[in-house]
Amino acid sequence: MRPEEIVAYTEALARIAASGGGPKALAAHLAQTAGGGVLLEDANWRHLTSAGSGSIPASARGVVEAGAPGHAHCVTAGNAGVGWLSLFGGDRAGDADILLRLTAAAIGVELARDGATLRGCAGEFWELLLTHGFHDATAARDEAAARGITLASQYLAVALEIEEGAASEVRPLIGDAFRSSETEVGLLERGPMLCAFVPAPRAVDASNAKTAATLLPKSIGRRRPHLRISGGVGTVEPPIALDRSLRAAEAALAIGRRIYGGGRIVGYDDLGAYRLLYEGADVERLRAFAGGVLAPLRAYDEQHQTDLERTLRLYFKVGQNVKTAASELNVHRHTVFYRLRQIGEICARSLDTPQDQLTLRMAVAIDELHDAN
């Protein structure tokens, strides 16, 4: 393109933006000028708008990741990627890159403005939910719908500690990690913490969300090596009790940072006895904790007529001396080793790690102290 053509095209983009045409009109102007098909997607490759003629694929992801035919340019707002603008076909292939760059810059301004408005609107809702701003679930759901938010039946809160000013970079990465085909992930900045509210209507959704959360430091590190994040994963709760999940996530973040250091995301349910030590607990909660830890062993013993719970208690009683435990149980020491491996598998705990060993020890001790029988 000649310099005067670039100036004229840029001025046309400015007029469209000033008149309130928005991303759709800007994309249409690009399509008309280039004589091809234009596709605009968000940072997670979701369709926003398209314009022009010719064959336009469902997504331009292949252009960027696999070198498929077409031209694509990242749409940015500041340092953050907020979308992708792509051009297919047309009679000005030689000018495609400059036309895409100029149009993507104009669209980036529009998306940043719209995104800030939507995030603010959504952020207000999540804040109201956390501070009990709704008297019941129906009121919360109605307000969510009014703000364009589709509420899931249950959520899992993830509290992320990130560097100051890095939220705009992390937001699209989190959305990609917890992508759901049904409902959006809620995001809310609270001081130095970025809170993600991940839809978890089914047990498998919660399990997948927990796995995705623990992998976030590595997945974000691969794409943004300069970013280091720590975090905690809360409990599964209905929207009206979302604050309970976030408190658990914040506790997991604090406990995990003390035990493991930074750069790791820890699940509240995986912290065992450390939750009690950190938060304090009354007798009822202590008994519930012990019962929950020992329940799998008791169920297995009852179903298979085994003696695993007794083996665990005796193993701790004799100071983890396998030979003495074998003598007391009147079995070979290899049998004790085998039972200990079974106990670890059944309880999803490892007797080789200090953290899990503490959880099992405390469960046995609490049960002995507060046995209802």
Q: Which of 132-136, 247-251, 325-329 has the lowest mean pLDDT?
A: 132-136
Residue 7 falls inside a structural domain: yes
> Is the same domain home to 267 and 139?
yes
> Is the same domain home to 224 and 290?
no
% of the chain beyond a pLDDT of 90: 40
Q: Of the ranges 35-39, 81-85, 216-220, which is most confident?
A: 35-39
> Is the same domain home to 259 and 320?
no
Q: Report the C-alpha gap between 57 and 61 in whole angstroms.
A: 9
- Tell me the CATH number at 256: 3.30.70.270
For residue 119, pLDDT beyond 80: no
Residue 123 falls inside a structural domain: no
> Is the same domain home to 328 and 244?
no
Average pLDDT over residues 337-349: 93
For the chain, give the mean pLDDT.
86
The per-residue pLDDT for 69 is: 76
Average pLDDT over residues 249-272: 88
The per-residue pLDDT for 118 is: 47
Average pLDDT over residues 338-355: 91
Last residue of a domain, one of 271, 290, 317: 271
% of the chain beyond a pLDDT of 70: 94
Confidence of residue 253 (pLDDT cuts 50, 70, 90): very high
In which domain, by residue range, is 105 found? 3-114
Distances (CA, A) of 81 to 55, 225, 236: 26, 16, 31
Question: What residues contact 95, with CB distance under 8 A and at least 6 apart?
Answer: 1, 34
Give 24 or 181, the one with higher predicted confidence.
24
> Is the same domain home to 152 and 206?
yes
The per-residue pLDDT for 373 is: 44
pTM of the model: 0.56
Distances (CA, A) of 246 to 108, 110, 130, 180, 198: 32, 32, 8, 20, 11
Average pLDDT over residues 9-21: 89
For residue 111, pLDDT beyond 80: no
> Is the same domain home to 242 and 150?
yes
Q: Which of 63-72, 156-165, 233-242 has the lowest mean pLDDT?
A: 63-72
Confidence of residue 219 (pLDDT cuts 50, 70, 90): confident
Give 54 or 204, the one with higher predicted confidence.
204
> Is the same domain home to 145 and 106?
no
- Tell me the CATH number at 318: 1.10.10.2840
Taking only the tens place, the pLDDT of each residue in 38-97 is: 999 887 787 888 998 778 888 888 887 777 778 889 888 766 677 899 999 877 777 888
The per-residue pLDDT for 80 is: 66
- Closest-CA residue to 322 (of 301, 299, 343, 297): 343
The per-residue pLDDT for 365 is: 87
> Is the same domain home to 257 and 290?
no
What are the residues facing 75 on neighbouring strands? 83
- Tell me the CATH number at 20: 3.30.450.40
> Is the same domain home to 195 and 321?
no
Residue 267 falls inside a structural domain: yes
> Using an 8 Å Cβ cutoff, are 168 and 77 in contact?
yes
The per-residue pLDDT for 115 is: 54
Tell me the backbone φ, ψ of residue 36, rounded to 5 degrees: -135, -165
Taking only the tens place, the pLDDT of each residue in 275-334 is: 887 877 788 888 888 899 999 999 999 999 999 999 999 999 999 999 999 999 999 999
The pairs formed by 44-52 with CB atoms below 8 angstroms and a separation of 24 or more are 44/172, 44/175, 44/176, 44/179, 45/84, 48/23, 48/83, 49/23, 49/24, 51/24, 51/27, 52/28, 52/90
Q: Report the C-alpha gap between 201 and 193 in whole angstroms.
A: 25
Residue 120 falls inside a structural domain: no
Tell me the backbone φ, ψ of residue 361, rounded to 5 degrees: -60, -45
Q: Cα 2–5–7 angle (5° rounding)?
A: 115
Number of structural domains found in the chain: 3
The per-residue pLDDT for 46 is: 77
